[in-house]
Amino acid sequence: MIGPGSGARVYLACGTIDMRKGIDGLAALVQADLRQKPSSGAVFAFRGRRGDRIKLLFWDGQGFCLYYKVLDKGRFPWPSAADGTARLTAAQLAMLWEGIDWRRPSWSAPPVRSA
């Protein structure tokens, strides 16, 4: 994914949104609900009601970028609306984008190589 660097601030809008919203509608949500400046350079993540779609809104310094992903199978892990806003690291955003549960990643030990 072309986008923000590893030090980017990431805000996840808990709950669901109307996925028909475009850049202007999402930017308004960022200001009203998340109380953030949409052009701050942070990444803002939103999920639809069915859970299989997310949108990321990001200001790259010249304009807004809107990333949209629909999972073929499964759902994106997401906190409830009661949680308000969640702050993620760039690594957690990468896991989220791949459909991995960023709250409980499954870590395993590397395979043992025989000599």
pLDDT tens profile 56-88: 999 999 999 999 999 999 898 888 777 778 888
Residues with Cβ within 8 Å of residue 111, at least 6 apart in sequence: none
* pLDDT score, position 112: 66
Predicted local distance difference test score (pLDDT) of residue 90:
86
Question: Is pLDDT of 1 > 60?
Answer: no
Average pLDDT, the chain: 85
Q: How many CB atoms lie within 10 A of CB 74?
A: 9
pTM: 0.82
**Res 45: pLDDT:** 94
pLDDT at 67: 95
